[in-house]
C-alpha cells in the first residue's frame, strides 16, 4: 500500500496505536472493511450539511469496532466543515433521560476541524464576528459608528435566531449578553455566559443578571438550546453537527424507572430529528445487539423498537447501509492481516531503512502474529485488533527499526499480561478480571 500522508498525521496515528487507543485523526488510513458503508454515509452527511437531519443506529458486539466507526464517521463529517461531539452515555455521568446533561456533554465535547474540545467559545466568537461582517457588508453602517453597529447586530441576531428566540428566549438573551461582555473586554462575564449557553450549572447569579437570565437549563429547554447551537454553527460556516451517543446499552443496567425514562427520551430525540426540528443534525447511537433486540433494551418500549426495527435475517453481505440500523460484523482474520499491513506500511513511510523493516516484518509474519493473538483470545477476531496493533507497533516495529539485529521470530516471545487487557479481552482469553498471570502467546 502506498501511503501519502503528512509526518504529523502519521505520528499521531502510530502513537495512538502504540498506547493501545483509537487514533483521534487519520482513521481513513486504517479503515478496513468500511468501504461498503462509504456511499450511503457520505450521502447522509451531505443531507445533513445541506440542512436536513439524519438518525442512525450502529450495532455491534463489544470489539466490533463501533468506536472506530463513529470516529471515522466524525472525520468524514469534519471534511465537510461540520462540527462533531461524542458523548458517552452512563447512569451517573450522562444519564440519557436528562437531556440537559446530554446537551452539556455535547457542548463540552464539541470539536471542529480547527478547534479541539470544547470549541463552543471559538464558535460563539466566530458567529459574532460573522454577524458584524454581514451588517457592515450592507454598506448602510460605518464601521466607526459603534452604536449603529450594535443595533444592527442585535436586529440581525434576532432574525437569525428566528423561531429559537421565541421558543428559547433565554438562549438569545445570553448571546446578546455574551456579545456585550466580550465587546467590553469583560472576559469573566463572557466566560460565564458561554458556560451558561453550554448548559453548565452553577453559573454565578451576578453573571446571569447581566443578561437578564434566571435559573438553569432544564430538560425541556435542552432541545431548544440544541436548535440554537445548530443555528450558531451554521452562522459561522459549520453546516451541521454530528452527535454520537455512545454505549446506549448501559441503559439495560439502570433501574427500571430510569431505564424507561431514558428509552422514552431516545424515542423523543428520534421523533424530533424526523420532524425536521434540527436542521443540520446527524444523530448516531451505538449499542450492542442485546440492547436493540433484548427485552431490557429497545424492545421494552414498543414505539422505540418500531423506529429502530431493521431486518438482519439475510446474510451480512446484503445488509442495507441506508437502513436505520447498521450492523458491524467485526473483523475477519483476513481483515486483521490487511490492517496489520496498512499499519506496517504507515510506520515505515519515510524511514531510511524501510526495506529492511518491511522484509523483517513481512506479510507472513503479520499473518502469524494475527493468528496467534486471535487464537489466544479465544479465537474471537473482534476483540484482537487493539492488542494486535499495540504489540505490532510497540514490541515489533519499534524494535525492528531501532535494532538492526532484532528478529521478532527469534527474539520476541509474544506475551501479554491480564493487567493490560480490557474486561472484554480478559473474558475472551478466559481470565478472571483480577488475574495478572501471563498469557503465553509465543509464536510457533
**Residue 112 pLDDT > 50, yes or no?**
yes
For the cut 50, the answer to whether the pLDDT of residue 3 exceeds it is no
Percent of the chain with pLDDT over 90: 59
Structure-model confidence comparison of residues 375 and 329, the more confident one? 329
Q: How does pLDDT run across 167-176, given as a tens digit for each residue?
A: 788 898 899 8
Q: Binning pLDDT at 50, 70 and 90, where does residue 425 land?
A: low
Q: What is the pLDDT of residues 243-295, one digit of tens each?
A: 999 999 999 988 999 999 999 999 999 999 999 999 999 999 999 999 999 99
What's residue 244's pLDDT?
98
pLDDT at 269: 95
Q: What is the pLDDT of residues 10-21, one digit of tens each?
A: 899 999 999 988
Q: Which pLDDT value is given to residue 162?
A: 79
The pLDDT value recorded for residue 9 is: 86
pLDDT of residue 140: 81
What's 397's DSSP letter?
A: I
- Cα distance from N-terminal residue to C-terminal residue, the chain: 28
- When pLDDT is cut at 50, 70 and 90, the band that residue 142 belongs to is confident
> For residues 389 and 68, is the Cβ–Cβ distance under 8 A?
no
Grid cell listed for 113? 476541524
pLDDT score of 437: 40
Res. 331: pLDDT tops 80:
no
Average pLDDT, stretch 372-382?
67
Task: Tell me the average pLDDT across 368-387.
Answer: 74
User: Tell me, what DSSP letter sits at residue 363?
Assistant: H
Rounded alpha-carbon distances, angstroms, from residue 193 to 155, 201, 285: 20, 11, 30
- The predicted structure's pLDDT at residue 159: 84
Grid cell listed for 5: 500522508
Residues 6+ apart with CB under 8 A from 389: 17, 20, 339, 340, 343
pLDDT band at 406 (very low <50, low <70, confident <90, very high): very high
Return the pLDDT at 434: 39
pLDDT at residue 397 tops 90: yes
Instruction: Show the CA angle centred on residue 242, arms to residues 268 and 312, nearest 5°.
Output: 65
Model confidence band, residue 146 (pLDDT cutoffs 50, 70, 90) = confident
Q: Is the pLDDT of residue 31 over 90?
A: no
- CA gap 308, 293 in Å, rounded: 10
pLDDT digits (tens, 9 = 90+) for 304-319: 999 999 999 888 889 9
What element of type H or E holds 56? Answer: strand 54-59
Mean pLDDT score, 187-214: 92
Quote the percentage of the chain above a pLDDT of 70. Answer: 91
Q: How confident is the model at residue 440 (pLDDT cuts 50, 70, 90)?
A: very low
Tell me the mean pLDDT in the region 336-348: 93
Average pLDDT over residues 392-396: 93
The secondary structure element, H or E, covering residue 49 is: helix 35-49
The separation between CA 74 and the C-alpha centre of its own chain, rounded to angstroms, equals 6
pLDDT for 299 beyond 70: yes
- What is the C-alpha to C-alpha distance for residues 118 and 106, in angstroms, rounded to an integer? 9
Average pLDDT of the chain is 88
As a whole number, mean pLDDT of residues 401-423 equals 82
Q: What is the CA radius of gyration of the chain?
A: 25
pLDDT of residue 124: 95
pLDDT of 366 higher than 80: yes
| DSSP character at residue 324 | S
Provide the pLDDT for residue 115: 92
DSSP for 407-439, please give it.
-HHHH---EEEGGGS-HHHHHHHT--TT--PEE
pLDDT exceeds 60 at position 300: yes
Query: pTM of whole model > 0.75?
Result: yes
Is residue 145 predicted with pLDDT exceeding 90? no
Centroid of chain to Cα 342: 23
Sheet of 54-59: strand order equals 83-88, 241-246, 281-287, 54-59, 325-327
> Between helices 219-235 and 99-108, what is the axis angle to 10°?
30
Amino acid at each position: 500500500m502506498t501511503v501519502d500522508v503528512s509526518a504529523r498525521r502519521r505520528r499521531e496515528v502510530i502513537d495512538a496505536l502504540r498506547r493501545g487507543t483509537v487514533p483521534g485523526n487519520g482513521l481513513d488510513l486504517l479503515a478496513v472493511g468500511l468501504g461498503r458503508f462509504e456511499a450511503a454515509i457520505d450521502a447522509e452527511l451531505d443531507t445533513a450539511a445541506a440542512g436536513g437531519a439524519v438518525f442512525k443506529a450502529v450495532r455491534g458486539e463489544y470489539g466490533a469496532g463501533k468506536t472506530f466507526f463513529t470516529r471515522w464517521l466524525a472525520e468524514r463529517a469534519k471534511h465537510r466543515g461540520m462540527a462533531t461531539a461524542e458523548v458517552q452515555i452512563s447512569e451517573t455521568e450522562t444519564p440519557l433521560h436528562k437531556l440537559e446533561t446530554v446537551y452539556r456533554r455535547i457542548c463540552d465535547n464539541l470539536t471542529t476541524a480547527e478547534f479541539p474540545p470544547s470549541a463552543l467559545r471559538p464558535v460563539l466568537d466566530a458567529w459574532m464576528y460573522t454577524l458584524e461582517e454581514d451588517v457592515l457588508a450592507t454598506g448602510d453602517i460605518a464601521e466607526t459608528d459603534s452604536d449603529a453597529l450594535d443595533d444592527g447586530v442585535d436586529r440581525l441576531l434576532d432574525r437569525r435566531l428566528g423561531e429559537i428566540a421565541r421558543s428559547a428566549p433565554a438562549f438569545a438573551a445570553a448571546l446578546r449578553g455574551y456579545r456585550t461582555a466580550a465587546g467590553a473586554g469583560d472576559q469573566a462575564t463572557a466566560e460565564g455566559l458561554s458556560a451558561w449557553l453550554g448548559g453548565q450549572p452553577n453559573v454565578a447569579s451576578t453573571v446571569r443578571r447581566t443578561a437578564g437570565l434566571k435559573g438553569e437549563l432544564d430538560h425541556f429547554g435542552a432541545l431548544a438550546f440544541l436548535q440554537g447551537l445548530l443555528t450558531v454553527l451554521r452562522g459561522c460556516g459549520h453546516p451541521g453537527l454530528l452527535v454520537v451517543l455512545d454505549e446506549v446499552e448501559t441503559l439495560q443496567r439502570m433501574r427500571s424507572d430510569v431505564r424507561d425514562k431514558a428509552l422514552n427520551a431516545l424515542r423523543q430525540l428520534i421523533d424530533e430529528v424526523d420532524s425536521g426540528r434540527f436542521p443540520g443534525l446527524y444523530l448516531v447511537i451505538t449499542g450492542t445487539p442485546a440492547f436493540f433486540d433484548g427485552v431490557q433494551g429497545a424492545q421494552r418500549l414498543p414505539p422505540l423498537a418500531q423506529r429502530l426495527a431493521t431486518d438482519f435475517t439475510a446474510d451480512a453481505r446484503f445488509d442495507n447501509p441506508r437502513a436505520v440500523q447498521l450492523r458491524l460484523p467485526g473483523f475477519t482474520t483476513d481483515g486483521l492481516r490487511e490492517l496489520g499491513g496498512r499499519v506496517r506500511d504507515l510506520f515505515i513511510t519515510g524511514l531510511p531503512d524501510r526495506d529492511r523493516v518491511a522484509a523483517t516484518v513481512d506479510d507472513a509474519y503479520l499473518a502469524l502474529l494475527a493468528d496467534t493473538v486471535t487464537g489466544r483470545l479465544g479465537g474471537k477476531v473482534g476483540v484482537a485488533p487493539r492488542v494486535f496493533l499495540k504489540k505490532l507497533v510497540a514490541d515489533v516495529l519499534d524494535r525492528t527499526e531501532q535494532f538492526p539485529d532484532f528478529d521478532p521470530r527469534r527474539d520476541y516471545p509474544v506475551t501479554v499480561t491480564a493487567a493490560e487487557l480490557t474486561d472484554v479481552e480478559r473474558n475472551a482469553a478466559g481470565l478472571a478480571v483480577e488475574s495478572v498471570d501471563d498469557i503465553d502467546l509465543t509464536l510457533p
